[in-house]
Structure 1
């Protein structure tokens, strides 16, 4: 005959059933690693540490705390470095600008010096042209004593072919202008005489000299001494006979006073 449990009724488990349950619980606890007595102490500790690290959140990095005075010092240092860098850059730029200005000043100075030299050379050439183009009296400060074309028996042609300037014997006689000596020596009735071909193509003649100070081919400048006055040749006393000619030869004479005046000489 079969027996069944009445509804709502419970029996206490038997000893065998309780023993089986205890073994099953122990096995379950051992598998989960809960029972510490079933594992070694070191392994248990490592396991706990690992689990704790995995469970706990990552610790934040240690923050560096800077107080206000240190921050101000750092800012001041940075500002000073920046200012120093800017000052160095400005100084470098100023140095470059100064170097450029110096170079430009040198170029301008060289150009100005060159221009001044050119101006000086031009002025010197102009002065030389003026000097060479100038005329003066053959005997300084001396008046004309006998005029051009004066008639008389003293001259073979019947008239004076030049003018006479008063001059004591030994007075310096100069070239009236720039030219080249084409005759220097004895000239017959003229005594010791000099003939100069002037730079403008005309000729001048100086007679009755006591001495001659130039040679043929010599270039002379206005006012340059060429001899000393005297009374050589056909002469009645010391003086300078002066002629202006179109050629070096006798007979090509022109009015010497008009000639000198045309060249700016007051006679």
Structure 2
């Protein structure tokens, strides 16, 4: 029995419908591996190859590329973060080393300054200890060395007399050790000091004595007060310079003081 179409105009299946059907068939045949042998010329002629858009491969490829791109960006960001961290660490280390070096240099400069100050202080003290001065500040000689007259048992003056009102401060002219402090006969109350350079100095006619034998004295150290004790005609200071502690070894006191830088 034959079937006939109903009367009226019938449309052929659309191209999209045919393509979908063909793609379904192609997919089925592809699973069996016989797509190449079973495709008839008519089927080949009627079936168009599916486009990339129709198969969805573009979307798959695009999504794969996007994932790779995101992964690459993430890796790049991680590398940048690691590089930034390493750079920050290196910078912090460099800054710490710079601060440590600056601190070391500052400490070295401070130490050098302290040492220089100490050296200067020691040098100043050395100069002070090696310096000489007048036995009475601001005084002057009233009777010179080797002046002749009956006032002296030897016939001449064995030292010099410095003008001094009674009670004036008498000081050691330099650094040394007291070897005599007390009554000295014609010298009255007197002090004899062995100076550090090996010479001796004597201070006579004192009204009082403020040092004792064995005591170390420095330039300007008060050893007593001026007076008129012993063989004296009035308040003054008798000053002698000697090569030994014994009477008779006297040398010119003015020349002695001047040789040590004292303006007499």
Q: Give me the TM-score of the superposition, normalised by structure 1.
A: 0.73
Instruction: Note the alpha carbon deviations across 1:189-215, whole angstroms, 9 max, x for none.
Output: 001100011111100000000110111
Instruction: Note the alpha carbon deviations across 1:228-252, whole angstroms, 9 max, x for none.
Output: 0011111111100000000011111
**CA offset at residue 105 of structure 1?**
2.1
Where do 1:1-267 residues align within 5 Å?
Answer: 53-55=31-33, 63=60, 65-66=62-63, 80-267=77-264
Unaligned runs of 5+ in 1: 1-50
**CA offset at residue 90 of structure 1?**
1.6
**CA offset at residue 108 of structure 1?**
2.1
Root-mean-square deviation (Å): 3.0
**CA offset at residue 96 of structure 1?**
1.0
Corresponding position of 2:44: none
**CA offset at residue 121 of structure 1?**
2.3
Unaligned runs of 5+ in 2: 1-28, 36-55
Change in 2 beyond 3 A, CA 1:52/1:112: closer
- Aligned pairs, how many? 217
Counterpart-to-counterpart distance in 1, 2:254 and 2:30: 139
Counterpart-to-counterpart distance in 2, 1:224 and 1:69: 99
Counterpart-to-counterpart distance in 2, 1:143 and 1:68: 112
Counterpart-to-counterpart distance in 1, 2:237 and 2:198: 23
Change in 2 beyond 3 A, CA 1:189/1:66: same
Instruction: Note the alpha carbon deviations across 1:24-47, whole angstroms, 9 max, x for none.
Output: xxxxxxxxxxxxxxxxxxxxxxxx
Q: 3-state DSSP class of the match of 1:63?
A: helix
Instruction: Note the alpha carbon deviations across 1:147-168, whole angstroms, 9 max, x for none.
Output: 0000011101111000000111
Q: Give me the TM-score of the superposition, normalised by structure 2.
A: 0.73
- After superposing the two structures, state which structure 1 stretch, 234-243 or 77-86, moved more: 77-86
Corresponding position of 2:18: none
**CA offset at residue 77 of structure 1?**
5.6
- After superposing the two structures, state which structure 1 stretch, 73-82 or 120-129, moved more: 73-82
